[in-house]
Structure 1
Amino acid sequence: MAVESVTLRIAGTELSGDLAVPDEAAGLVLFAHGSGSSRHSPRNQAVAAQLNDRGFGTLLLDLLTPAEDQTDEVTREHRFDIALLARRLSGAADWLAARISDLPLGLFGASTGAAAALITAAERPELVRAVVSRGGRPDLAGGALAGVRAPVLLLVGGRDDLVIKLNEEAAHELTAPYELRVIPGATHLFPEPGALEEVGAAAAEWFTRMNPAG
């Protein structure tokens, strides 16, 4: 399956992405990368490959420009600018829906990208059909949590105690259907053998909810 390099122009900013759409795709998944990460994240690339194998198209997108990313490496000011990340992610969702309008759209967010994904889901209820968070910070979505209408899967490592607590607190604010699933033995980045495979399998299962025939 070919991977297409794409450039999205959102609010005057050019963002780079990698788009892969298998034949007869069951849906599309837009990735929101987390703190200090990019579309080249081996973790999200691994999950995207699993989703591709299950018939889902994927868009791995850099939410920061190269210059912003360089600044963020020093100051860390952009990775926690959830409003900025969400604004760009929502623009990317609009772009993807306009380009491929006949497939349902899901969001996969990691770390702070999960908060951006939940805000986009609340702002684009007509577009976003499902959300998956991996080691995410849904608490940073704040008041947007109550506005999410798509079903939400929260995946957290069993040894990531603080993030488990933050996910539990955020889950209570959700009014949409949700599941908080703890992956035993996994830490925050899921480097343990088999952990990312479990994430990918759970995400693929969740995203089948986007398609009534799935």
Structure 2
Amino acid sequence: MISEMVLVRMDDAALHGDLVVSAPSRAVVLFVHGNGSSRHSTRNRTVAAQLRTAGYGTLLLDLLNEREERHDALNAEHRFDIPLLTHRLVGAIDWLAEQPETRGAPVVLFGADTGSAAALTAAAERPDRVLTVVSRDGRPDLAGDALERVRVPVLLVVGGQDHEVLRLNQEAARRLRTPHSLHVVPEATHLFEDPRALAQVAGAARRWCDERLRAAREELETHGQ
């Protein structure tokens, strides 16, 4: 297993990330935080650890550099800048395709809060490299017209007690033109503070990704015959 801090360089920033991959990884899950969080998010790290036990690689990446994070902490400007977050995320997807440890591995985008909108928009721009999108209590509505352009399967996981975000996810789901599922964790709030609720998120994400990998493999075998 390879575990290292990485620096993802792109045209407008150099972004810090934590990459953990086994050889070979079934897929690499790229975590897309939002709304003032970072790659150090306890919730994302908990889910990432559980996915690694199922054979998935993980990349937890800060989509803002240190200067932008300080600015965002004061005025919350960048966390809602979906075009900026999407641009950075697409750069990270392309970066994974160039690394020896991750080249050829399918990419799963795991978005939280506003990061979900960036994940969906990036998936619309890189349909050949993204296997699926998983959203945890996200804001898919902020993806706008990109929702209709997404071609990969989408799993929306929402806390049952987060009523407004649940409504927004239900509306976004109706706009998707691709296979999707809305998974509601009944007693969970927006932050999924109960470890048992977070375990349900990890379990739902793992099962969903397992199914997507199996479907992709079967499709490849069918077309290869």
TM-score bin, normalised by smaller chain: over 0.9
C-alpha offsets along residues 32-68 of structure 1, whole Å, 9 cap, x if unaligned? Answer: 0011010000000000001111100010000011111
Counting aligned pairs with the same residue, the percent is 55
Structure 1 residues 185 and 70: alpha-carbon distance in aligned structure 2, compared to 1, 3 A threshold: same
Could you tell me which residue of structure 1 aligns to residue 222 of structure 2?
Answer: none
Equivalence map 1:29-178=2 (5 Å):
29-99=29-99, 100-178=102-180
Residue 5 of structure 1: aligned partner: 5
Distance 1:87 1:12 in 2: 10
Q: Distance in 1 between matches of 2:55 and 2:162?
A: 30
Task: Give 1 or 2: higher helix fraction.
Answer: 2
| Distance in 1, Cα, partners of 2:62 & 2:110 | 13
User: Gaps (5+ residues) in structure 2?
Assistant: 219-225
1 CA distance for matches of 2:23 and 2:200?
24
TM-score relative to the length of structure 2: 0.92
With the length of structure 1 as denominator, give the TM-score of the two structures: 0.97
| Equivalent-residue separation in structure 1 for 2:125 and 2:2 (angstroms) | 31
Q: CA deviation at 1:2?
A: 4.2
1:111 is displaced (CA, Å) by: 0.2
Contact in 2 for aligned 1:105/1:210 (Cα 8 Å): no
The gaps in structure 1 that reach 5 residues or longer are: none
2: distance between equivalents of 1:81 and 1:145? Answer: 16
Q: Deviations over 1:137-181 (max 9, x none)?
A: 000000000111110000000000000000011111100100011
**In the alignment, residue 12 of structure 2 is paired with which amino acid?**
G
CA distance in 2, matches of 1:89, 1:193: 28
**Larger RCO (alpha carbons 8 Å, 6+ apart):** 1
Aligned equivalents of 2:60 and 2:195: distance in 1? Answer: 23
Task: Give the aligned residue type for 2:213.
Answer: M
Is the Cα contact below 8 Å between 1:154 and 1:179 reproduced in 2?
yes
CA distance in 2, matches of 1:193, 1:46: 9
Q: Are 1:130 and 1:210, in contact at CA under 8 Å, matched by a contact in 2?
A: no
- Displacement, 1:88? 0.2
